[in-house]
Amino acid sequence: MALKNITANEVLDKFDANEALNVIDVREDDEVANGVIPGAIHIPLGQIADRQGELNKETPYIIVCHAGGRSFTAASYLDSEGFDVTNMEGGMSAWEGELEF
């Protein structure tokens, strides 16, 4: 099955519509210090395998990084483990919504 993708603008539309979003930010600590999508869970890419037990396979997640590469890697891994994941194309560099610090 092909990995699901969503654009930053589509995520922003859902955010603005107050849809419940479950965002996982896989960037490093110094990157998330510059802001995350409000409500995002921070799990650096290198910790995804060890911390997948914190996630629920029934919950849909949107995976985010800086430009879309690491989130694709994380989403591919979580998808192979049976999670419902969608990769946000373009990452935070494409995000135009508000940020949480």
Domain ranges of the chain: 4-94
User: 1: pLDDT confidence band, cut at 50, 70 and 90?
Assistant: low
Mean of the per-residue pLDDT values of the chain: 96
CA distance 99 to 88: 16
Query: At 87, is the secondary structure helix, strand, or coil?
Result: strand
Whether 75 shows a pLDDT value over 70: the answer reads yes
Strand partners, 89: 7
Known active-site residue 65: yes
| pLDDT one-digit tens code per residue, 54-70 | 999 999 999 999 999 99
Domain 4-94 has CATH 3.50.50.60: no
CA nearest neighbour of 63 among 99, 11, 14, 2: 11
Q: Is this structure's pTM higher than 0.75?
A: yes
Active-site option among 26, 40, 65, 78: 65
Whether 2 shows a pLDDT value over 90: the answer reads no
User: 42: pLDDT confidence band, cut at 50, 70 and 90?
Assistant: very high
- Report strand pairing: 84-89 vs 60-64: parallel
